[in-house]
Amino acid sequence: MNFEIELNNTIIKVELENRKNIKHCYLRILKQNLIQIRANRYFTINDAKILIQNRKKWLEENIQKVKEKALNEDEFLLFGRKENISEFNIKNLDNFYKNEIKKYIPDLVEKYSNLMKLYPTKISYRKNKRTWGSCNYKNELNFNILLMKYPLFIAEYIVVHELAHIKHKNHSKDFWNLVEKYSPNYKEIEKIFKSLL
């Protein structure tokens, strides 16, 4: 069920998705003019309006953040900055990111491999929806080309994280201790990264 509300003199569409097996209610901002509520099948439009009213301040603040992050058609992100596509003469953004990442990741891998004494067997690059880096059982590392959208210190942390997986193929205490040794403020970096996504 869809309906509209007004927030800060702006009309916002609301998608209400009722599901059988849902225990809690989930409120998400999908775009600056679209929010989604997922709830159990007894959750009504009226319940949704009450929820929105109760979360009004949170919604207004976070819709503003979404607006600030929004890119124009001729813009793209590079190292966390908005850049103009025409200035870089970009025909295909994915190809651009793939070429750019190859200029930075190998040096970072070499730097931290030597420090950590952990060496990958191969480095590859892909565009992934969810994973930013991975390390398989052969110790081959893969990095998401979209890392180029964010500040370089984030890619640096991902390199340390994946190299640590050469030694520990899990997220155990030993793994995090190793990450912390070479990326002491990794928790802060993860928070910053999440805020940028």
Tens digits of residue pLDDT in 62-87: 888 777 777 777 888 899 888 888 88
Q: What would the pLDDT profile of 11-40 be if each residue is shown by its tens digit?
A: 889 999 998 888 888 998 888 888 999 999
Q: What is the DSSP letter of 150?
A: S
Q: What crossing angle do the helices spanning 186-196 and 152-167 adopt, rounded to 10°?
A: 120
Whole-structure pTM over 0.85, yes or no? no
Instruction: Name the CATH superfamily housing domain 93-196.
Output: Metalloproteases ("zincins"), catalytic domain (3.30.2010.10)
Instruction: Please spell the DSSP secondary structure of 4-30, one letter per residue.
Output: EEEETTEEEEEEEEEETT--S-EEEEE
- For the chain, the domains span 2-69, 93-196
